């Protein structure tokens, strides 16, 4: 039997995470001695706040080194309910909460719990790379509702309505959005809720993991609307707002029967998340959310800088991201041009050429369902960003 014959169709049909792949390519090039600037990564470059690190150390000393209940320690689930009330005015009890090894696992659990073969999941596009593959792994069929740069990457509620069929299980989106940085306003979310509310078999999975990184306006949750409240699953986590990517802690707030179903799945796969990490997460969530503001202000300063610089590149179409830490320019004006004799026809070729010649790693938009774009993360130091912008300007300036 050949090596590929033994592999399942699931894995053979699975796309590799484009963001992780690009980060690896950047690391490889760096290992060869090149000065590569990675703007491909989806994680804050800050350290976890000291208070949270100290809480983990205390928890270790207090013996939080054992298995936890599968849906999470009661302390943490209560803290999540407090946070959801305080920040989002949402009423949940610990029975609605499941803590997982990152929001990625949370979304995986939800898909495994809700999707039957052939069920449809409506995904707002540009989307976070993993949505499509996690839905497919569960046997689901992603249905794309697209928004482009001219609409600030926000979907038209009528398009959402038109995409709903009898097979639709749920609508999945993130606000603030990875990769576009768009943040839906209360009014916009209300209209989307109205479009979905008419179809009582359709649920909503609202990924709010970038909640604490909003520059313009405020973060709003679609779960606040009464007409969809009972059918909304809120996904959130510690990775982005608290600079805790490596801790692997995410959570969901869902109707109790869905929380139970996800607990059942998680109980056969990973069990509860790490005990001392959960104690630290509870400390973080119970702290005044002002704790997250320092990072947010630094991201805002970087956004201003990056937008100013990228605007100077002729042909790049920008939308101003209102949150998260990504810029998602439409670069299709450069397709058909070439760099040092090498033709560039799509986002993958552009990202590879940028890495090879400018030593700047970005991610091709195709991976996010937006082949006209590239994703530039500005979760990097000011010094790195300055260097990267100089290289990008030089690169695009030389395209003919
Ligand atoms: C939109 C979105 N959702 C979920 C996640 C997963 O976060 P984690 O698994 O680190 O909690 C990410 C990470 O990049 C993301 O960008």
Would you kindly state where each structural domain of the chain is located, as residue ranges?
9-47+292-397, 65-288
Total-model pTM: 0.95
Atom of ligand 1 nearest to the CA of 128: 1
Atom of ligand 1 nearest to the CA of 207: 3
Calculate how far, in angstroms, residue 7's C-alpha sits from the geometric centre of ligand 1. Answer: 27
Contact of 231 with 41, CB cutoff 8 Å: no
> What is residue 4's predicted lDDT score, i.e. its pLDDT?
65
> What is residue 5's predicted lDDT score, i.e. its pLDDT?
84
- As its CATH architecture, domain 9-47+292-397 has Alpha-Beta Complex (3.90)
Calculate how far, in angstroms, residue 128's C-alpha sits from the geometric centre of ligand 1. Answer: 8
State the Cα–Cα distance between residues 221 and 252, nearest whole angstrom: 13
Calculate how far, in angstroms, residue 25's C-alpha sits from the geometric centre of ligand 1. Answer: 21
Query: Which of 22, 109, 130 should be mutated for ligand 1, with most atoms under 8 A from CB?
Result: 130
Helix H or strand E encompassing 180:
none
> What is residue 2's predicted lDDT score, i.e. its pLDDT?
65
Overall residue count recorded for the chain in this entry: 400
State the Cα–Cα distance between residues 77 and 62, nearest whole angstrom: 19
Contact of 342 with 98, CB cutoff 8 Å: no
Helix H or strand E encompassing 217:
none
Query: Which of 40, 179, 209, 321 should be mutated for ligand 1, with most atoms under 8 A from CB?
Result: 209
State the Cα–Cα distance between residues 152 and 124, nearest whole angstrom: 13
Give residues (CB < 6 A) around ligand 1.
Answer: 42, 102-104, 128, 174, 178, 207, 209, 237, 239, 245, 250
Q: Provide block-wise average pLDDT over 10 residues at a time, the chain (400 residues).
A: 80 82 86 92 90 98 98 98 97 98 98 98 96 96 93 95 98 97 97 97 98 94 98 97 96 98 98 98 93 91 96 94 95 96 94 94 94 95 95 96
Per DSSP (E only), the strands in 182-249 are 203-207, 232-237
Query: Which of 103, 127, 245 should be mutated for ligand 1, with most atoms under 8 A from CB?
Result: 103
CATH for the 65-288 domain, from 3.40.640.10, 3.40.50.300, 3.40.630.30, 3.30.300.20: 3.40.640.10
Query: Which of 133, 178, 284 should be mutated for ligand 1, with most atoms under 8 A from CB?
Result: 178
> What is residue 117's predicted lDDT score, i.e. its pLDDT?
97
Calculate how far, in angstroms, residue 212's C-alpha sits from the geometric centre of ligand 1. Answer: 13
Calculate how far, in angstroms, residue 312's C-alpha sits from the geometric centre of ligand 1. Answer: 31
> What is residue 1's predicted lDDT score, i.e. its pLDDT?
58
Contact of 369 with 144, CB cutoff 8 Å: yes
């Amino acid at each position: 039997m050949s090596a590929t014959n033994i592999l399942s169709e699931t894995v053979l049909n699975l796309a590799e995470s484009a963001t992780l792949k690009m980060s690896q390519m950047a690391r490889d090039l760096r290992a060869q001695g090149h000065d590569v600037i990675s703007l491909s990564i989806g994680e804050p470059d800050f350290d976890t706040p000291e208070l949270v690190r100290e809480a983990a150390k205390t928890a270790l000393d207090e013996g939080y080194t054992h298995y936890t209940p599968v849906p999470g320690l009661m302390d943490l689930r209560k803290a999540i309910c407090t946070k959801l009330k305080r920040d989002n005015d949402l009423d949940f009890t610990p029975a609605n909460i499941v803590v997982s090894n990152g929001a990625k696992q949370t979304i995986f659990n939800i898909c495994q719990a809700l999707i039957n073969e052939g069920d449809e999941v409506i995904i707002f596009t540009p989307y976070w790379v993993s949505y499509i593959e996690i839905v497919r792994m569960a046997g689901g069929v992603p249905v794309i509702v697209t928004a482009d740069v001219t609409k600030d990457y926000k979907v038209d509620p009528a398009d959402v309505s038109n995409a709903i069929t009898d097979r639709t299980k749920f609508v999945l989106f993130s606000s603030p959005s990875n990769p576009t940085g768009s943040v839906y306003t209360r009014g916009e979310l209300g209209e989307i809720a109205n479009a979905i509310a008419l179809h009582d078999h359709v649920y909503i999975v609202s990924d709010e993991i970038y909640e604490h990184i909003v520059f313009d306006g405020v973060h709003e949750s679609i779960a606040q609307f009464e007409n969809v409240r009972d059918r909304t699953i809120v996904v959130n986590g510690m990775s982005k707002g608290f600079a805790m990517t490596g801790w692997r802690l995410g959570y969901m707030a869902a109707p109790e029967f869905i929380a139970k179903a996800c607990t059942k799945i998680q109980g056969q796969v990973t069990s509860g998340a790490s005990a001392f990490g959960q104690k630290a997460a509870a400390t973080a969530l119970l702290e005044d959310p002002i704790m997250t503001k320092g990072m947010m202000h630094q991201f805002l300063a970087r956004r201003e800088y990056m937008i100013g610089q990228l605007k100077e590149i002729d042909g790049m179409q920008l939308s101003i991201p209102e949150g998260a830490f990504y810029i998602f320019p439409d670069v299709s004006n450069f397709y058909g041009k070439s760099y040092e004799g090498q033709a560039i026809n799509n986002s993958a070729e552009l990202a590879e050429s940028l890495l090879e010649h400018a030593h700047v790693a970005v991610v091709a938009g195709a991976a996010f369902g937006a082949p006209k774009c590239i994703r530039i993360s500005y979760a990097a130091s000011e010094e790195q960003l300055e260097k990267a912008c100089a290289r990008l300007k030089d690169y695009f300036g030389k395209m003919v």
